[in-house]
Amino acid sequence: MKSYKVSVWKISVNKTTKKPTYVVRWVVDGQPFGESHKTNALADRFRAKLLRAVEKGEPFDTVSGLPDALRRGAAALSFLDLAVKYLDHRWAEASAKHRDSMTDALAGVVPVLVKPARGRPSPEVLRRALRSHLLPPSRRDHERPEEIVSALAWIEKASLPVVELLEVARVHELIDALGRKLDGKPAATQTYRRRRAVVFNALEYAVELEALSSNPLTRVRRKRGKRAVQEVDRRVVVNPRQAGELLTAVTYVGAYDRASGRRLRAFFGCLYYAAVRPAEALGLRRSDCTLPRTGWGRLELAETRPTAGKSWTDSGEAHDRRGLKQRAAEEVRTVPIPPPLVRMLLEHVEEFGTADDGRLFQSEYGNVVAASSYSRVWKRARELALSPGQVRSVMAARPYDLRHAGVSQWLNSGVPAPEVAARAGHSVDVLLKIYAKCIDGQETEMNERIMRGLGEGREGAEE
């Protein structure tokens, strides 16, 4: 319905939020509406548009509260169009993993914001059509199977205009979609937060394009529980003896099959002795290493090679090429390394050399080592080094757990937290929240310390 009975109020300031917002309020046929803006200038600009529409005698929609001119401008942009434009806008500057994350979030909500239409494809086909063919700019010119062509034709016709999100019910539908997996089951809180951040930023872009006057997600609050601190499970952490046995066992994996285990021993050694992330170890070059024949050495970490998938990297390779995590592009992290790792790296270079670009760790054909390859070797090494009960447990279940063990060992050795944080590439706050100071096999020693503090000796501890 349309109405000419419109009153536009003065701008008010909402001081209940962390940062004050500026609210434009108006009434259409007795129905109040309001839009919040980050600055007074933006609010004044929107209010001026409403006043001009009133002066021109334009009818206002009683559902959205907008005059025809503003509503038509917003209606020209569908949610599918917004998703495509937003990815085009962000693609070049985004990392490969962030591209994957953005596409995942938008592919999940675009099929929800649609009008009823016949011939709706299955959820699986719609998701594949969006995620693998339309949304990633690098995949749009690829050949499309017939079912994908049909699915994209359907979604283009059915996608709702973004202005529909002015209705609170639509916003709730959107939030519900963010919190569900493809099979309809609830998604993890961390997944929901990641997806919501992507969609929130996409809607902010819609505001920049003037398709929306404000971000609809700011109008609806949905509690999803507190973000859990991702503390390291003490059960995954191995002690130094166990770590040494695992690194030895690695050399027995595929010993007669292209030396697959021996080729990766130093890689796993970097994860434990230097507490580097797998992607940091994969990016390590010989020129980044100071490896004296005796004493301590040093690693200068500058590049990471995270696994991302060919669809998301500019090079078309499975591994992206990035700087260090959460650091400036050219920033370098220095990690002193103990003699056991120095010797391990020297032996590795002597036996396997380096890749053409100087990387220490390479596959048989000189490529970046795939996560599936080193995970397969690690799985077999656990079976060789650990007892059957330990193999079935979570102890060192992933190669990344070697990093946890390395950081825990430093902390338990009395290294000050700021120094551990600097070597591991964490803030002190994150380090103390996440890493446990507990190594498997130290419970007896800790109990003895407590008993000595109580005035009891070893005999008392054993009773």
Output phi, psi for 348, to 5 deg. -65, -45
pTM, 2 dp? 0.65
Most confident of 69-73, 92-96, 376-380: 376-380
Q: Per residue in 430-461, pLDDT tens?
A: 887 777 555 444 566 667 777 777 876 544 44
As a whole number of angstroms, the distance between CA 298 and CA 337 comes to 5
All structural domains of the chain: 2-75 (3.30.160), 79-219 (no CATH), 234-444 (1.10.443.10)
pLDDT at 445: 64
Output phi, psi for 73, to 5 deg. -65, -40
Output phi, psi for 216, to 5 deg. -60, -25
Burial class (CB in 10 A: 0-12, 13-18, 19+), 323: middle
> For residues 40 and 21, is the Cβ–Cβ distance under 8 A?
no
pLDDT at 439: 45
Q: Per residue, what are the HEC states of 300-332?
A: EECCECCECCCCCCCCCCCECCECCCCCCCCCC
Q: Per residue in 132-174, pLDDT tens?
A: 999 999 888 888 999 999 999 999 989 988 888 878 888 888 8
> For residues 94 and 179, is the Cβ–Cβ distance under 8 A?
no
Q: Per residue in 284-342, pLDDT tens?
A: 999 999 999 999 999 999 888 887 777 777 777 777 777 777 666 678 899 999 999 99
pLDDT at 309: 74
> For residues 207 and 73, is the Cβ–Cβ distance under 8 A?
no
Question: From the centroid of its chain, how far is CA 132?
Answer: 19
Task: Give CB contacts under 8 A, 24+ apart, made by 119-125.
Answer: 119/150, 119/154, 120/154, 120/158, 121/147, 121/150, 121/151, 121/154, 123/182, 124/182, 125/151
Question: From the centroid of its chain, how far is CA 39?
Answer: 30
- The residue that leads in pLDDT, 192 or 224, is 192
DSSP 121: P
Closest of 233, 214, 198 to residue 165, by C-alpha: 214
DSSP 132: I
Which residue in the block uniquely carries the two structure tokens 């050495």?
Answer: 297
Mean pLDDT of 81-105: 91
Burial class (CB in 10 A: 0-12, 13-18, 19+), 442: middle
